[in-house]
Amino acid sequence: MALGKKHPNRLGIAGWLAGGRYGGERYLYTLHRLTGLGILLYFALHILVNLSRVFGRESWDSLMAIFESPAFKIGEFLVFAAFAYHAFNGIRLVLIELGLPFAVGRAEEPVYPYKSSLNVQRKLAVMVILAAALLVVVGGYDLFILGH
Amino acid sequence: MSTQSQNHQVVFHVRRYDPDHDAAPAWKDYRVPVPPGMTVLDGLHYIKEHFDGTLAWRFSCRMGVCGSCAMLINGMARLACNTQILDVSRTALTIAPLPNYEIIKDLVPDLAPMFAHHASMKPWLIREDRDEILNPTGEYKQTREELEQYIQFTNCIKCGACLAACPTVATDPTYPGPMALAQAYRFCVDSRDGGLEERRDALDTPHGLYRCHYAGECSRVCPKGVDPARAIQLMKRNLVFSYLKLVRRREPSQLLTGPVPGAERRSEIPAPPPFTVEGAGDEA
Ligand code: FES
C-alpha cells in the first residue's frame, strides 16, 4: 500500500519551551539559548552605538541622553542578568562536555529504577542557579539602589 | 480481576490523523474501563476492539523490548506497553504520536529519518581485518572494564522517544539526535573498534554533536536507562581529546588465542569437579 501524505509534526521553537512535562534542565537549556541571543543583540547594539562617535560629539551625547531613561536602565539590568546566567551556565556546560566524572558520571549498567547523568549534574545546575541569582541581586542593588 | 463496574473510567484523548481523509490531525475521545495493571497499549487495543477498528499504532513485543510503541502519553514520550494507565492518571489520558517525526497515520510516526542518522554513524565495528569480521574464526579480546565502557549504551531499542523529547531536534532536522550520537559513542569506545576517525566527519558537523547543550531530556525519557546525554558528552570529550592528540591512539583488540600449548594449571587453582553425567565431556 502506498503511503498517503504525511503530516509534519516537528515542534520547532515551541519545543524549547514546552516539549511536554519535562524537567528543569530543559529550561536551563532554553534560557541559555535565549540569553545567548540577547547578549548577541546587545553586542550588535553596543557596536552601533559606539560607532556614533564617528559622527561627532553631538550625536554621541544625544544618544547617551536616551540611555539615561529608566527603560534603558532596565534593559541594562536585563543584559547583566543574561550575562550572569549565561556565564555560569556556560561553565557548567564546559564541565559537562569534558565528561568529568563529577559532572556526568561514568557509564554503568542500567538497573531499574534508572539513574542517569541528570542526577549526577544536578548539583551543578543548582549551583548555577544560586550563583546567577546572587550576582543578579548584587548587580540590581548596585544599579538601582546605589545608582552606579 | 475486578469487574467492569469497579474499574476506573479513563478518558483517552487520542490524536487521530487519516492521511487519505484528514487535512490535519484532530482529537477524539474514548472512555475505557481500566482495571489495575492495564497498560496504555491494552487501552488502545480496547479502543480498537470496541470503538474504532481503524485506530493505528505500532507495537510488537508488548514488553518493552522491540521499541515499536513509543508515543506521547500525557505530554511525555514513553512506551505504551511499559506504562500502566493508573500510574499516569485516574481520569484522563492524552495520547499523541511522537513529535519531531512526520505522522504517517494516527499514532504512527515516520522514524525513517532517525534510522538514516543512525546509519550515517556507521554503527558497526570498524576494523582492518574485514575477512575476520565476515568469516569469524574466533573472539576478540575484551576485559570486563572495557565492556563496562559501553554496555549501558547497548541497551538502546531505537524507540525514538529521545528525539521526540530533544529540544535541539525540535528545531534542527539535520542534528543527528541522541540515539544516533549515543550509538556512535557506543562503537567508538568499544575496545574492538578502530573507527573514530571514520565517524568524525558525521559527528563533527556544524549541526553535529556540539548542538547538544545538555537539556538532558533524552536521558529522562529513555525507557531503557541508556542515558544518551551522558554518551554524547563523553563523545564530545573523546573527539576534543583526539583532535588535541591528548589520547594515545588505541589499536583495536586482537583475536583471543587459546592457552599456550603445554601450559600447566597453577597449583593454587583447583581442578573442576568431575562430570556428573556419564559421557559428558567425551567430545572435548
Ligand atoms: S510493544 Fe515492544 S516496546 Fe512496546
- CATH code assigned at A104: 1.20.1300.10
Predicted confidence at residue B283, as pLDDT, reads 58
Answer yes or no: is A13 within a domain.
no
- Answer yes or no: are the C-beta atoms of B143 and B59 closer than 8 Å: no
Query: A6 in contact with B at a CB cutoff of 8 Å?
Result: yes
Average the pLDDT over A68-91 and give the result.
92
- Answer yes or no: are the C-beta atoms of B202 and B122 closer than 8 Å: yes
Predicted confidence at residue B267, as pLDDT, reads 87
Query: A109 in contact with B at a CB cutoff of 8 Å?
Result: yes
Structurally, how many domains does chain A consist of? 1
Rounded average pLDDT per 10-residue block, chain B, 284 residues = 67 96 95 96 97 97 96 95 95 96 96 97 93 90 94 96 95 96 96 93 94 94 96 95 86 84 85 83 62
Answer yes or no: is A62 within a domain.
yes
> pLDDT (tens digit, 9 = 90+) per residue, A124-143?
999 999 999 999 999 999 88
Answer yes or no: is A38 within a domain.
yes
| Fold topology of B3-109 | Ubiquitin-like (UB roll) (3.10.20)
Predicted confidence at residue B4, as pLDDT, reads 53
What is the 8-class DSSP label of residue B30? E
- Answer yes or no: are the C-beta atoms of B97 and A9 closer than 8 Å: yes
Inter-CA distances, B210 with A89, A93, B181, B214, Å: 16, 11, 11, 10
- Give 3-state DSSP helix, strand, coil % of chain B, rounded to 5: 35, 15, 50
What is the 8-class DSSP label of residue B249? P
Label residue A1 by pLDDT band (50, 70, 90).
Answer: low
Answer yes or no: is A31 within a domain.
yes
Q: What are the residue ranges spanned by the domains of chain B?
A: 3-109, 112-243
> pLDDT (tens digit, 9 = 90+) per residue, A100-114?
999 999 999 999 899
Answer yes or no: is A44 within a domain.
yes
Answer yes or no: is A4 within a domain.
no
pTM of the predicted structure, to 2 decimals: 0.88
Q: Which numbered atom of ligand 1 lies nearest the CA of B223?
A: 3
- Give 3-state DSSP helix, strand, coil % of chain A, rounded to 5: 75, 0, 25
* Any atom of ligand 1 within 6 Å of the Cβ of B66: yes
CB burial class (10 A; 0-12, 13-18, 19+) of residue B121?
buried
Predicted confidence at residue B14, as pLDDT, reads 98
Q: Please, which residues 177-236 of chain B have a Cβ atom closer than 8 Å to chain A?
A: 213-217, 219-222, 224-227, 229-231, 233-234, 236
In whole angstroms, give the CA distance from residue B175 to residue B165: 13
> Cell 550563583 maps to which residue?
A131
What is the 8-class DSSP label of residue A20? S
Beta pairing partners, B84: B39
Predicted confidence at residue A24, as pLDDT, reads 86
Q: Which numbered atom of ligand 1 lies nearest the CA of B59?
A: 1
Instruction: Print the domain residue range for A26.
Output: 21-145
> pLDDT (tens digit, 9 = 90+) per residue, A52-63?
888 888 888 888
| Fold topology of B112-243 | Fumarate Reductase Iron-sulfur Protein; Chain B, domain 2 (1.10.1060)
